Structure formats: structure tokens, C-alpha cells
């Protein structure tokens, strides 16, 4: 392989490696609360160690409002810019709109 061919291959590899990772899609829900989302981590990421590291770059207009022991994730109100930052984080598995849930009692 000549040095020109090698250089061309290196350039191609660098372009692939430097390509931005795809954004995590936002799952829609009925009765969504505008600006509020539920964020879950990938299975190999520990919640307690990573909520603060994932959210450390968000602006003061956004905030985490809930954390749970039952799922590895958190909920909060996030601006569009901060939501894009969360969507591009490699430790995030999913983001879903937060919403209102209604229960009904059926008696017979």
C-alpha cells in the first residue's frame, strides 16, 4: 500500500470515528406535560454515579425533579438545548415525554 492510499484510508476512518452519534429518539406519550421528560440509563450504567455527571452540563433553566430506586433513570424539566445534550449522551438508553396518567375504578 502506498503512502497516498494509506493516507486516504486514514482520512476515511477518521471521518467515521468523528461522526456524531445518533440522537436518542424521544418517545411520545398521551397527555404529555410540555418540557418534562423521563430519562433512563443503559443497563451497564449505575444511576447513583451518573445522574449528576449526565446532568452537570445542563443549564439552570433545566432541573431534575425525580429519581427512583426501581428504575435506573430520572425525570425532570429540560429546555430544548439541554434535551439535545441528554439525547446525545452515550449513557442514555431512552427518553420519553412525561405525562399525566389517569386511573379508573371498575366495580361489579
Residue 61 domain flag:
yes
Residue 84 domain flag:
yes
Residue 28 domain flag:
yes
- Tens digits of per-residue pLDDT, 84-105? 999 998 888 999 999 998 888 8
Residue 4 domain flag:
no
Q: How far is CA 73 from CA 1, 64, 76, in A?
A: 49, 10, 10
Among 68, 71, 69, 78, smallest CA distance to 98 is for: 78
Joined grid coordinates for residue 45: 450504567
Residue 54 domain flag:
yes
State the CATH number of the domain containing residue 32.
3.30.70.80
Domain with 80, as residue range(s), is 21-99
- Tens digits of per-residue pLDDT, 21-45? 689 999 999 899 999 999 998 877 6
Q: How far is CA 80 from CA 17, 40, 75, in A?
A: 26, 18, 15
- Write the DSSP symbol of residue 35: E
Amino acid at each position: 500500500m502506498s503512502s497516498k492510499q494509506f493516507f486516504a484510508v486514514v482520512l476515511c476512518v477518521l471521518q467515521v470515528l468523528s461522526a456524531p452519534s445518533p440522537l436518542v429518539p424521544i418517545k411520545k406519550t398521551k397527555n404529555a406535560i410540555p418540557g418534562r421528560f423521563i430519562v433512563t440509563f443503559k443497563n451497564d450504567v449505575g444511576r447513583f454515579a451518573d445522574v449528576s455527571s449526565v446532568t452537570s452540563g445542563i443549564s439552570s433553566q433545566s432541573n431534575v425533579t425525580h429519581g427512583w430506586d426501581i428504575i435506573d433513570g430520572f425525570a425532570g424539566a429540560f429546555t430544548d438545548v439541554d434535551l439535545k445534550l441528554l439525547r446525545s449522551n452515550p449513557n442514555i438508553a431512552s427518553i420519553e415525554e412525561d405525562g399525566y396518567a389517569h386511573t379508573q375504578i371498575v366495580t361489579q
